[in-house]
Structure 1
Amino acid sequence: MPCRKDQLEDVKSFLPIENPDFDGSFSTYQLLYGKGGNRIYLLGIGEDKHSAQIEAAFRKLCFDTKKYWGKSMQVYANDLSKDEVRKAVIGLEMAHYTIGEFRSKKEKQTKLSVTFTSTSSLKIILDEGKYTGETINKIKALVDAPPNIKTPEFLGKWAQKSAESAKYKCTVLKPAELKKQGFEAVLSVGKGSINKPVVIINEYKGNKNKKIDVCLVGKGITFDSGGLSIKPSTNLHYMKSDMGGAAVVLGVVELIAKLKLNINVTGIVCSAENAVDAESYRPGDVINSYSGKTIEIIDTDAEGRLVLADGLSYAVKNIKPEYLIDLATLTGSVVRTLGYHAAGMFTNNADLAETTSKIGYKVHERVWQLPMFEDYESDLHSDVADIRNFSGNPLAGATNAAKFLEAFTEDHDKWMHLDIAGVSFGSSSYAKMKSASGYGIQLITELIKEKTLK
C-alpha cells in the first residue's frame, strides 16, 4: 500500500490499527497483519520530489520481501498517477533480476502474480511498465555477461532473436561485408581479437512513412583491454561492460517494437573486441573510416569513438534520420566530471538538450550538458591524417571525444552524444560487485516518444 510522506489518512480505512508507527518516508516500508493473517505492507513513496524514483521504492520492497509473498500480491493504486503506476511496475520487474546467471546452482524463481487495484483503466500503462522492466532486465543481463560468452557475434545473435520475437528487421554485417562496405575503423579496432567484429542494424517501422524519425548508434566493445595501449589490471575485469551504449540501443528498439509505437527507428551497433595480438592496430597507425576521413591513432584505448565514427557516418549517408543519437561508455573523463549520477550530454541543438534534460529528471536518468566549443577542435589536429583519435591532453577528455564524433556527423543539426560511462555500470545495493544499472532505456524511449509522437 503506497503512502506519501505524512499522508496516511488516505489509507487509514484499510489498516488494521489506527496509528501505525510509519510516516511514509521514501523507500521505507512496514509490515502489518490483517485480521485474517494477511500481510499488509505500507510502502513509503515520500514527497513530490521522489516521484521520479518511485520504481526504486517498489524494487527494494519486492527484492527484500518477495520470498514471503506467496503467489500473489495486490497493490492499491487509486492514489497513484499513471506515470507512478508505470514506474511501480518497472520497479517490481527489476526486483526479479538475478545477476548469478552463470552459477552452477541458480536461485529458484517463484512465479508471482501482482494485481493493481484502481478505479481507472490501467491495462495499457501496466503493459508498458511490464515491457519496460523486462527490457531493462534483459540489457542488464547483456552488460553483466562475461566477455568469453558475450562476443560481437553473440550480440548479433541476441539482436536476431529479439527481432524475431518483437517483429522488427535485423541485419548483421560480418567482416567480409564490413570490408566491402568500408567499415574500416570498426575492422581496425577488432583486428587483434579472435572474436571478429560485426555491425548490427535493427530497423523498426511502425509508420508507413519512409522517413526515419530516429537513428540510435551504440558503442559495442564487448571487452576492452585497451589494445596495445593496454589498461592497468585493476578493474580490468569490468571492461566487459564497455558495450553499455550498444545494450541501450538494442533494448530501446526492442521496447519500441513491443509497444508498437507509430514511428520509424533504426538502431546501429558497432561491435568489436579490443584485444592485444600481433595483428592489433598500433599507436602511430593511420586508418581509414566509413566516411572517407583518415584517422591517426594516438591511443588504441580510445577505440570506442572509432567504431562510433563508422556508425555515425553510415547513419548520415544511408539512414538520413531526423534525430541522430549515439550512446557510449566512452570516457573516464566524464566520470571525473559528473561522478555516477548523470550522463554527459553533448549537442549543439538547444531544443534537444532542453528536452532530454527535462525527461532525464522525469525518469531519474539524468544528463548534464557539457561544452562543444570550437576551441577544442585544435586538440584533434593531426599532421599526417585528417584527424587524430586522442588529444593526449589530460583535460576536457569527454569533450574532446565528443568533438571527434562530431567530425563524422556531417554537421547533422539534431545530433546528440551521450557519454554514459559513469551511469551504465557501477555499485549497487543489489550486488556485492559492480553491475549494470539499466540506465538509458527509459530516457531514450521517453525522448523518442516526446520528439516524434506529436
Structure 2
Amino acid sequence: MIFTQVSKVNVHHDVIVPCRKGQLEHLQQFITIKEPDFNGEFATVQMVYGAEGNRIYLLGLGEEKDAVKVDEAFQKLSFNYKKYWKKPVQVITEGFTDTELQKVIIGLELSAYDMGAFKTKKEDVKALTFEMVSSKDVTSILKEAKAIGETINRIKTLVDAPANQKTPEFLGQWAEASAEQGHYKCTVLHQEELKVQGFGAVLAVGQGSANPPVVIVTEYMPKKGGTVDIGLVGKGITFDTGGLSIKPSTNLHYMKSDMGGAAVVLGVVELVAKLKLNVNIVGVVASAENAVDRNSYRPGDVIQSYSGKTIEIIDTDAEGRLVLADGLSYIIKEFQPKQVIDLATLTGSVIQTLGYSAAGMFTNNSQMAQTLSKIGFDTNERVWQLPLFAEYESDLQSDIADLRNYSGKPVAGAITAAKFLEAFTDAHKAWVHLDIAGVSFGDSPYSKMKSASGYGVQLITNYIKQILDE
C-alpha cells in the first residue's frame, strides 16, 4: 500500500470520515443528509454518496475505551471495501493523536494481507493508495507505521505457511535474506555446529525429523561498546506432532503455527533495524520439527542441554520448553543481555487460564512486568502476569536427572513450564517469559480457518522504544 499526505479534501475521491460515538457534528461538511442512520458505534460503517458521486464512508470509532482498537476498525473497513477502490482513497485524520494515526496506517496495511500464497488462481491486486488529509506534517508517522504493518504481515505469512515449505532451514534462509536487506548480522547454526556447541535439547527434539534443526542468531548492534540491551528468544517448532507422545488428529494441521514465538523474534529484529532504533538487540530462534520416527527421542530418555543440566523426558509433546532452554542458556552465556524476553506458543494451559485475550507473562522483575503490562493494554496486545512461586519447583524434580520436562499434573501447566525455563536463565534478574499460545493464532474475521494474528511485534517493539527513553 502507498500512503501520502494531502492538506485538502478532493471531492472527486472516495473519503473515509472517522466518527467517535456521539460526536457527529463534523459530518455535515462531508454529507448532505441531515440525520444519517449512524451513531459511531465501534467498527460500524455507513456508506453514502457525495455531491460528485464519490463514496463517503462514515466509520465508527466507538467510545474512548475503543481507542486502542482504532487499527481494527480501519482494517475491517478496508478489507470489506477495497475491491471497490480504484482511485486514491482519502482519510480524514484531524483530531487523531500521533499514536492513533499510527494505528490507522497499521490497520489499513494489515488489510492487504493475503493468505492465498499457494492458490493457483489469483486476482490481480493493485496497490491501494491512501491520502491522509492533515494540516500538520505526518510523513514520519506514515513511514514508521507502514513499516510496522508490513512487518506484521510478513510474520503472519511465516506463521500461516505450511510445514512442508516452512522447515527449520527455511526459517534460517528467511532470516538471512532479511538481515542482508536490513543490514544486520545473521548466523545460522546447522546440525553439526549444534553438536559441537552442545545444543543437546534442540538436537533431541529434532532428531526424529528428516528436516534437521537449526539455531538462528540475529544481531542488530548500532551502539558502540558491544553491550546487548535486550535479547529475544523464540520457540521455532515448525511442526509439532507431539513426537512419540503424539497429539490427536483433531486440529493437528494447525501445529504449523508452533513457531509463532520465533516469528515475533525474527520480525522485531527486522523492524528495529528498519526503524534504525538506537538499541543493541540480539534474537535467538531455536528451531526444530517435532516428528515421529525410529530416531525420535522417547519418554523416559535423559538428554543433555546447552547449560550442562540433564533433563528427564516425561512427555515428548513438551518440546517447546526444551528448545527454549537451550536458546536461553546460549543467549545469556554468549551475549550477556541486560534484559531477556522469550516468546513461545508454549502451553494449552495458558489458554485454559486466560482464553484468547491475553498472553501469560512470567517474571520476577516487577519493573519489566509493569511496563509490558501497560504497553500491552495500549497496543491491545495484552499480557497478564502469572506467578513463579518456589512451591512449583517440586513439580519438576526428577529421580534420575537434574529436572524433568513435564510434571504430569493436570493443573498449573503454564506455570510449571515457566518454572522449567527459569532453571535455564542462570538466575537472570531481568527475564520475562511470554506464553502466547492463545493470542498468536486463532479465529479471524479475515479467514475461513484459524490464522496468524501478528501478535507480539508491536508489544515488543514498543517495549524496546520505552526502555530507550528511560
- Per the shorter chain, which TM-score range? over 0.9
6-15 or 418-427: which moved more? 6-15
Partner of 1:111: 127
Write out per-residue CA displacement over residues 169-199 of structure 1, whole angstroms, 9 at most, x where no aligned residue: 1110000111111111101100000000000
Partner of 2:386: 370
Q: How far apart in 2 are the matches of 1:91 and 1:434?
A: 19
Q: How far apart in 1 are the matches of 2:31 and 2:377?
A: 34
Q: How far does residue 123 in structure 1 lie from its aligned partner after superposition?
A: 1.2
Partner of 2:469: 453
Name the amino acid aligned to 2:79.
F
Partner of 2:427: 411
Q: How far does residue 71 in structure 1 lie from its aligned partner after superposition?
A: 3.0
Would the aligned equivalents of 1:282 and 1:300 in 2 still touch at CA under 8 Å?
yes
Would the aligned equivalents of 1:152 and 1:222 in 2 still touch at CA under 8 Å?
yes
Q: How far does residue 268 in structure 1 lie from its aligned partner after superposition?
A: 0.4
Q: Of 222, 226, 229, which residue of structure 1 is paired with 2:245?
A: 229
Q: How far does residue 12 in structure 1 lie from its aligned partner after superposition?
A: 2.5
Q: Does 1:172 pair with 2:168?
A: no
Q: Does 1:12 pair with 2:28?
A: yes
Q: Of 195, 201, 204, which residue of structure 1 is paired with 2:217?
A: 201
Q: How far does residue 107 in structure 1 lie from its aligned partner after superposition?
A: 2.7
Would the aligned equivalents of 1:227 and 1:300 in 2 still touch at CA under 8 Å?
yes
Q: How far does residue 133 in structure 1 lie from its aligned partner after superposition?
A: 0.6
Name the amino acid aligned to 2:110.
M
Q: How far does residue 19 in structure 1 lie from its aligned partner after superposition?
A: 2.3
Would the aligned equivalents of 1:326 and 1:418 in 2 still touch at CA under 8 Å?
yes
Q: Does 1:240 pair with 2:256?
A: yes
Partner of 1:272: 288
Would the aligned equivalents of 1:137 and 1:438 in 2 still touch at CA under 8 Å?
yes
Q: How far apart in 2 are the matches of 1:199 and 1:109?
A: 36
Q: How far apart in 2 are the matches of 1:90 and 1:419?
A: 24
Name the amino acid aligned to 2:172.
G
Q: Of 55, 61, 65, which residue of structure 1 is paired with 2:71?
A: 55
Would the aligned equivalents of 1:334 and 1:397 in 2 still touch at CA under 8 Å?
yes
Unaligned runs of 5+ in 1: none
Partner of 2:100: 84
6-15 or 44-53: which moved more? 6-15
Q: CA RMSD in A?
A: 0.9
Q: How far apart in 2 are the matches of 1:316 and 1:212?
A: 10
Stretches of 4+ aligned residues off by more than 3 angstroms: none
Q: How far apart in 1 are the matches of 2:232 and 2:206?
A: 21
Partner of 1:433: 449
Q: How far does residue 36 in structure 1 lie from its aligned partner after superposition?
A: 0.9
Q: How far does residue 448 in structure 1 lie from its aligned partner after superposition?
A: 1.0
Would the aligned equivalents of 1:184 and 1:290 in 2 still touch at CA under 8 Å?
yes
Percent identical: 65
Would the aligned equivalents of 1:78 and 1:120 in 2 still touch at CA under 8 Å?
no
Write out per-residue CA displacement over residues 32-52 of structure 1, whole angstroms, 9 at most, x where no aligned residue: 111111111111111110111
Partner of 2:81: 65
Partner of 1:257: 273
Alignment of 1:332-371 (within 5 A): 332-371=348-387
Partner of 1:150: 166
Name the amino acid aligned to 1:361.
F
Match of 1:353, SS state, is helix
Q: How far apart in 2 are the matches of 1:17 and 1:355?
A: 46
Partner of 2:329: 313
Q: Does 1:292 pair with 2:308?
A: yes
Q: How far does residue 208 in structure 1 lie from its aligned partner after superposition?
A: 2.1
Q: How far does residue 79 in structure 1 lie from its aligned partner after superposition?
A: 1.2
Q: How far does residue 207 in structure 1 lie from its aligned partner after superposition?
A: 1.9
Would the aligned equivalents of 1:214 and 1:322 in 2 still touch at CA under 8 Å?
yes
Unaligned runs of 5+ in 2: 1-16
Would the aligned equivalents of 1:263 and 1:453 in 2 still touch at CA under 8 Å?
no
Q: How far does residue 276 in structure 1 lie from its aligned partner after superposition?
A: 0.5
Q: How many residues align?
A: 454
Partner of 2:12: none
Q: Does 1:192 pair with 2:208?
A: yes
Partner of 2:411: 395
Q: Of 29, 45, 49, which residue of structure 2 is paired with 1:33?
A: 49
Match of 2:448, SS state, is strand
Write out per-residue CA displacement over residues 381-420 of structure 1, whole angstroms, 9 at most, x where no aligned residue: 0010111000001110000000000000011111000000
The two structures have a TM-score, normalised by structure 1, of: 0.99
Match of 2:38, SS state, is coil
Q: How far apart in 2 are the matches of 1:72 and 1:209?
A: 47
Q: How far does residue 14 in structure 1 lie from its aligned partner after superposition?
A: 2.4
Name the amino acid aligned to 1:344.
G
Name the amino acid aligned to 1:123.
T
Q: How far does residue 119 in structure 1 lie from its aligned partner after superposition?
A: 1.5
The two structures have a TM-score, normalised by structure 2, of: 0.95
Q: How far does residue 337 in structure 1 lie from its aligned partner after superposition?
A: 0.6
Distance 1:13 1:71, change over 3 A: closer
Q: Does 1:102 pair with 2:126?
A: no
Would the aligned equivalents of 2:45 and 2:58 in 1 still touch at CA under 8 Å?
yes
Would the aligned equivalents of 1:341 and 1:366 in 2 still touch at CA under 8 Å?
yes
Name the amino acid aligned to 1:429.
P
